[in-house]
Structure 1
Amino acid sequence: MRRKLKLLFLAIIAVFLVVHILKEPKTTIPKSIQDEVEIALGHFSELEGIPIAFKFKKNIKKSVMQAQPTWSGLLKPRSKRSYVILISEKFKISGAEFKTVDVPRDVLIGWIGHELGHVMDYQERGNLNLIGFGIRYVLLKEFVKKAERAADSFAVSRGMSEYILKTKRFILNHSEIDDVYKARIKQYYLSPDEIMEMVEHQDSIRDNNLL
């Protein structure tokens, strides 16, 4: 009897995996943030055709948004991967609660752009490397810093510097946001000054190429 139950259990898992692997993923966007997502996606031509599902979640620990590869995507070639970007319905810091959709429009676009920067980073990694990425992100603070700064850099290099700057300033200059959270942003992410330096460097390279 136990053997039959075990085989049945394994069969159910196998069917579940097959269904999810064969199911054709697609990009889905909640109507309330469709305009902002489309503006952000417009800066990432490399992600055209890559399925990304944007989903609201009641709460995300230590974050407002989170980009992840789907489990089925990890079993496919990177050209066939799909992703999900989870968006917290609300975020509460030091007693101040905000609905994510109610933050200034450009701030929201910047937040989404940062997460798309993560997707760009993921797309450059092989499957085993991506699994290792997840493990290191959980265990190593220095790796968190490297990953978050890389996501910022991808967004800035795709012309989203103004949006990313507005997101940083919204957090760092908001009087009701806890200093501990602000310190985390300063520790792990690009600073406004570093972003401006990146933009100036990009402009310099572009100007030299025009000569």
Structure 2
Amino acid sequence: MPLTDHTPVYQNVQSEHLRAWFAETLSHYPELLDRPIYLRKISMRYSTMRAQPVINWRFFRRKYRHYRVDFSNHLEVTAHVKVRELPRDVVVGWFAHELGHIVDYLDRPWRGMIAFGLGYALWSRYMREAERRADSIAVDHGFGSEIIATKHYLMEHATLPRHYKKRLKKYYLSADEIEALITAYEERGEMPDIVDI
């Protein structure tokens, strides 16, 4: 059951089930419920899904900053995996991961966001730690089984390009690591520290 009636803003998203799944996932992130959050379908060359702040005058004030989750159906990976055709738990896991990124952005000042963007683009270790952090935040918000479903689906999808699966293994937590994270969370009632920054 959703925690609030907060409604995201949709741009070029015609699918009613994608809209409903995104709103449902967002409702479990109470720290985001006072923020405008957009779900936008666009053509992206290098990403299937990504989360970013909206760059406008509000970007410079954390309190007023808007955020956006973009997804694409127009690139090499989505020639094999259409977001709109994926099972619910896979899509929800993907949304939960992206919203985990946005939670990670909340306390960063604008200079910190720029430094984060540069670090993510330039250093693979920084990117890996950011992706692991987003996964752990999603698990902390109750989406462990959905994150695992997403990872299993992508790793076991026979037609996905090999380089894409290699990237998943390099930068993201594995299903086994997520299982361990869930177990630790259940046993201790708190998230273990799994990242270095």
Q: TM (normalized to structure 2)?
A: 0.85
Bigger proportion of residues as helix: 1
Aligned to 2:176: 193
2:133 maps to which of 129, 136, 150: 150
Letter in 2 for 1:28: V
1:48 maps to which of 33, 53, 64: 33
Native 8 Å contact 1:90 1:98 kept in 2: no
Q: Deviations over 1:136-155 (max 9, x none)?
A: 11111111101111111110
The 5 Å alignment of 1:51-66 reads 51-58=36-43, 60-66=44-50
Larger radius of gyration: 1
Secondary structure of the corresponding residue to residue 175 of structure 1: coil
Segments of 5+ residues of structure 1 without an aligned counterpart are: 1-25
2:142 maps to which of 142, 152, 159: 159
1:182 maps to which of 148, 165, 172: 165
2:51 maps to which of 63, 67, 76: 67
Q: Deviations over 1:97-126 (max 9, x none)?
A: 332211111111111111101100100212
Q: Percent of aligned positions with the same letter in both sequences?
A: 34
The yes-or-no answer on 1:131 pairing with 2:120 is: no
Letter in 2 for 1:52: I
- Alpha-carbon distance between aligned partners in 2 of 1:193 and 1:97, rounded to the nearest angstrom: 25
Secondary structure of the corresponding residue to residue 80 of structure 2: strand
- Alpha-carbon distance between aligned partners in 1 of 2:88 and 2:74, rounded to the nearest angstrom: 15
2:72 maps to which of 61, 70, 88: 88
Aligned to 2:4: none
Secondary structure of the corresponding residue to residue 71 of structure 1: coil
Q: Deviations over 1:10-58 (max 9, x none)?
A: xxxxxxxxxxxxxxxx830335111110121122111111111111012
Segments of 5+ residues of structure 2 without an aligned counterpart are: 1-6, 191-197
- Alpha-carbon distance between aligned partners in 1 of 2:137 and 2:189, rounded to the nearest angstrom: 17
- Alpha-carbon distance between aligned partners in 1 of 2:54 and 2:79, rounded to the nearest angstrom: 32
Aligned to 1:19: none
- Alpha-carbon distance between aligned partners in 2 of 1:69 and 1:187, rounded to the nearest angstrom: 25
Deviation at 1:96, TM superposition (A): 4.8
- Alpha-carbon distance between aligned partners in 2 of 1:91 and 1:161, rounded to the nearest angstrom: 27
The 5 Å alignment of 1:110-129 reads 110-129=93-112
Aligned to 2:195: none
